[in-house]
Amino acid sequence: MPESPSATCLFCEISRDSAEASIAASDELTVAFMDAYPVAPGHVLIVPRRHVSSLDDLGPDEGAALWDMTQVMARRVKAKHAPAVNLHLSDGAEAEQDIAHVHMHVVPRHRDDAVAIELPGTRATRDELDRAAASLADD
């Protein structure tokens, strides 16, 4: 069942122009706006207009539109704010998704900035990697 706009979802309110936001771009399916708590100047969030709390519920057209807008915003951030970007999307509370509405972060990056992303993790064995790959293969 498709999710409907949530009266209490900040991102739904922004999508409906019911909440204050600095909109960078929008189209029929997505809205790109500045993160109110930026990691760096130029940090942008891209959300689907429809309330979708998980990637599992994102329709193919919405997913394509989200990615298209992400690419547009990444190009613009790189042209005007930083030489590089990180893209970040958390899906679920356990992944530290702070607002239950799908959203992509475009984070401007500079050499030697203070942004910390803890990658890579611990090196896995080939057997562990093969088992994980097999678990994700088509049924």
Tell me how far apart the alpha carbons of residues 6 and 12 are, in angstroms, rounded to a whole number: 6
Active-site residue flag, 110: no
Return all residues near 51 (Cβ < 8 A) that are at least 6 apart. Answer: 3, 4, 5, 6, 9, 11, 12, 101
101, 47 contact by CB (below 8 A): yes
Tell me which of 43, 101, 103, 105 is the catalytic residue. Answer: 103
The catalytic residue positions are 103
